[in-house]
Structure 1
Amino acid sequence: MKILALNRRLLLLLCCLLLFAVWLSPAIAHAEGNNTALPKGNEREQKLAQFEQITEKLYRDMQDINLTDAPKQMELLIDSLEGLSFQGLTSVEGIHALAEVIMDTRGTLAEVNVDPEAWARSSAKLRLAVNSLAHQDKALWVQYYKVLADDLAGMTKSRAEGKRTVLREYFLSLQSHYDIVRPALIISRQPSEVNKFDSWLSYMGQISKDNSADDASLSRSLEQGEAALKELFGRKGADPVFLPIAGYRNPWSWTLLIGGWILLALVYTGLRKYQAYQNVESVHVPSERGDRFRF
């Protein structure tokens, strides 16, 4: 009986601990979700760094068409996902995009016939996607803005010159470059921004191959694409020619301060002049009559 009572007490204690853990877990999850600045050396940061290192090695092996090491690195990449939490790093759409690009890369490696171009593209997409997770502030995908902007500028120039075939070629180049960076954009940007550019790309794909499309429609569409691209990459307007002085976030305060010093200097100068005039003693001019008879 004593053993049975002891077992019941242990079971009751375990149930209490379990309920306490269930009650405490939402608070822990909420705290983890709001903790944007994770401390250095924590477990997730180490796993994420390892995940990125394996991705970089896989990228180099696939760029070099290393048939031996590339499949091994892919298996290591899959294993490194175990226990890695993406909470707070990206959205649900971002996790789906990452999983999709991993599976696409794995499928490329499983092909019997090796396609060097497919290996290069899939490894580049995977590298950009993983890099966007590990380096949210300075991700590599930001560098693709110039590539896409150049394609878009080529389309605009071709439209102005009336070269529809060349415009179509520039569009296909834009579409190809965007496909490489798109998973990283989904991971890093808002879904609405990515969907906006996707919609424009789909519409532009239709009218760029339609020779009967009027020039005004093409011009408006290209302007919309340029605005959507800037928004997607966080560039709302043109870059300034002269950059502001670093460290001064409020130029008006400095303008008022400098103006105040100038005004104070003018007031001080005026007061000094006024005091000087007050201290001047009048000089009596000798009368003309006295000077006339002096000699």
Structure 2
Amino acid sequence: MFFAMRRKWTGLIAVLALASQVLIGCGQAVRSEGEAAPKPSQEQLQRVELLNQTADEMYKKVMQGDVAGGKVVLQQLSDQVTQIRFEGITSLEGINALTETVTEAKKVFNAAQFSQEEGQVSTAKIRLATDALTHTNNPMWLQYYKLLLEDVEGLESAAKNQQKTELQKVYRNWEQHYGIIHPSLLISRNPSDVEKLDSLTVFMKQQILSAQDPYTQMLQILPQVRQSLDKLFMKKEATAYLPMAEPQNPILWTLTIGSVILAALIFAGWRLSKKDDGLVTVRKPEEG
């Protein structure tokens, strides 16, 4: 009898312990749902807007051939970046992308032999990156979608016709166009989505440079490249990445699920306690 009652209470305690874990998990989920993302202060927004204006000034000077003036403005921009708190504006990956872009531009402009093309590319990267910080809904880098899509179509055409020279040429265009908006993507989009397209880009390069017959692999991977593009640029045709509809009241939904699970556990505990009145039959081994 003692062992039967002990088993009964042990089962109930286990059920109640599990139920408490459910309630704790639901409570944590409710707290996480209720936590709002930090909003940038007015001072932060003003500093970022000033940064964007400085980048625009630098871009205009460099494109007009005033390299010395662009270099001076670049230093001003570099000083401004260190004085801005980016919490609530972009992710850690976005901050790193911005600072690395500015650092790379300083290397280009301080090189012993300045390259006009590299200077313009690095300036364009900065201009698009600062614009992405200030225009979250409609940044300028979205204009690159058509250009990148044309690159994908060019890669597909070259692969179908097995034209390796043309394939290499179009890939270089893709690499440059994608590289220009890469910092902006990390500022504006989910870093994991950007990393996926990064991996696809590296794979394409490996196939083009190393494989004697890269055409089959390219034709197989280009649909994934197109889908990643559509997701990053938020195009409706990216049907493979349609988000799941979220409940209108996630906190209420979380509590409802927790209540259902808890009720099921309590019922299971009640049945355990009622089974054979909590007694466990012990049979003696048959003699002989």
Normalised by the size of structure 2, how large is the TM-score?
0.66
- 2:38 is matched with which residue: 30, 34, 38? 34
- Give, in whole Å, the separation in 2 of the partners of 1:206 and 1:91: 30
CA RMSD of aligned residues (A): 2.3
Aligned equivalent of 1:140: 140
- Give, in whole Å, the separation in 2 of the partners of 1:128 and 1:188: 11
Q: How does 1:115-126 map to 2 (within 5 A)?
A: 115-126=115-126
- Give, in whole Å, the separation in 1 of the partners of 2:114 and 2:96: 26
Provide the secondary structure at the position in 1 that maps to 2:206: helix
Aligned equivalent of 1:94: 94
Amino acid at match of 1:73: V
- Give, in whole Å, the separation in 2 of the partners of 1:97 and 1:158: 32
Once the two structures are superposed, residues 139-169 of structure 1 have per-residue CA deviations (whole angstroms, 9 ceiling, x without a partner) of: 0111111111101101111122221221121
Provide the secondary structure at the position in 2 that maps to 1:213: coil
Provide the identity percentage: 28
Question: 1:197 touches 1:232 (CA, 8 Å); kept in 2?
Answer: no
Aligned equivalent of 1:257: none
Q: 1:175 to 1:82 in 2, by over 3 A?
A: closer
Q: How does 1:44-193 map to 2 (within 5 A)?
A: 44-193=44-193
Provide the secondary structure at the position in 2 that maps to 1:194: helix
- Give, in whole Å, the separation in 1 of the partners of 2:69 and 2:234: 38
In the alignment, structure 1 segments of 5+ residues that lack a partner are 1-29, 240-295
Once the two structures are superposed, residues 168-197 of structure 1 have per-residue CA deviations (whole angstroms, 9 ceiling, x without a partner) of: 211111011111110100111111101100
Once the two structures are superposed, residues 64-114 of structure 1 have per-residue CA deviations (whole angstroms, 9 ceiling, x without a partner) of: 231332222122212323542211111111100100001111111112222
Question: 2:105 touches 2:122 (CA, 8 Å); kept in 1?
Answer: yes
- Give, in whole Å, the separation in 2 of the partners of 1:238 and 1:200: 17
Question: 2:63 touches 2:120 (CA, 8 Å); kept in 1?
Answer: yes
How far the C-alpha of 1:233 sits from its partner, in A, is 1.6
Aligned equivalent of 1:273: none
- Give, in whole Å, the separation in 2 of the partners of 1:211 and 1:236: 34
Question: 1:159 touches 1:219 (CA, 8 Å); kept in 2?
Answer: yes
Provide the secondary structure at the position in 1 that maps to 2:67: coil
Q: 1:162 to 1:62 in 2, by over 3 A?
A: same
Aligned length: 206
Q: How does 1:13-32 map to 2 (within 5 A)?
A: none
In the alignment, structure 2 segments of 5+ residues that lack a partner are 1-33, 240-288
Once the two structures are superposed, residues 249-278 of structure 1 have per-residue CA deviations (whole angstroms, 9 ceiling, x without a partner) of: xxxxxxxxxxxxxxxxxxxxxxxxxxxxxx
Q: Does 1:233 align with 2:233?
A: yes
Q: 1:32 to 1:220 in 2, by over 3 A?
A: closer
Larger radius of gyration: 1
Once the two structures are superposed, residues 102-135 of structure 1 have per-residue CA deviations (whole angstroms, 9 ceiling, x without a partner) of: 1111111112222110110000011111110011
Normalised by the size of structure 1, how large is the TM-score?
0.65
Greater relative contact order (Cα < 8 A, sep 6+): 2
- Give, in whole Å, the separation in 2 of the partners of 1:46 and 1:180: 25
Provide the secondary structure at the position in 2 that maps to 1:209: helix
Aligned equivalent of 1:200: 200
Question: 1:65 touches 1:119 (CA, 8 Å); kept in 2?
Answer: no
User: Stretches of 4+ moved more than 6 A in 1?
Assistant: none
- Give, in whole Å, the separation in 2 of the partners of 1:192 and 1:211: 28
